[in-house]
Amino acid sequence: MSVLDYLDVINQRFANPAIIDTVRRVAFDGVARHVGFILPTIRDCLKAGISVDGLALVEAAWARMCLGIREDGSEIEANDPSWDMLKKQAELAQERPLAWLEMQSIYGNLIEDERFTDAFERWLSRIYQDGMEATLRHYLGEISLAS
């Protein structure tokens, strides 16, 4: 399934009034979800020599969300048992993106792999420079060109 087709599926799911679900519920306890699902995939891709560019963008978007303030200035309510730690690291990562990956309890030794850290740093810097929507559009444009 292409990325754009998958986005359509997600939009349909959240637009369906018969499915009582919220983004907030789906995003609850990000630490457990990232450690359990995304980070093993990153490690597998690195081991196999597969690009982790999109996965690094996922992690950068999570770091941006954990700042606790949307781009419009509104507050994002705490939504993770580790929120205080995440928010602190997200604040540090605004100026020094790799501060986010220094959370060894989450990332382990991933900070030692330049393929991941370079992509993560590039995406988080771009999110802060251009905004989330523009960054996602850029990534989707790259995906389309590669197809």
> Residue 41 belongs to a domain with what CATH number?
1.10.1040.10
Whether residue 40 is predicted with pLDDT greater than 90 in this model: the reply is yes
Indicate the residue type of 59: E
Q: For 77, phi and psi rounded to 5 degrees?
A: -70, 145
The C-alpha atoms of residue 94 and residue 125 are separated, in whole angstroms, by 8
In a domain, 81, yes or no: yes
pLDDT band (50, 70, 90) for residue 14: confident
pLDDT at 80: 87
Give the C-alpha distances (Å, rounded to integers) separating 131 from 86, 105, 135: 20, 28, 6
* DSSP classification of residue 37: I
In a domain, 24, yes or no: no
Q: What is the mean pLDDT of the chain?
A: 90
In a domain, 105, yes or no: yes
In a domain, 72, yes or no: yes
In a domain, 73, yes or no: yes
Whether residue 66 is predicted with pLDDT greater than 90 in this model: the reply is yes
Whether residue 23 is predicted with pLDDT greater than 70 in this model: the reply is no
* DSSP classification of residue 66: T
In a domain, 64, yes or no: yes
In a domain, 2, yes or no: no
Average pLDDT of the residues in 90-101:
98
- Higher pLDDT residue, 32 or 59? 59
In a domain, 110, yes or no: yes
Q: Which structural domain, as residue segments, surrounds residue 133?
A: 31-146
Domain count, the chain: 1
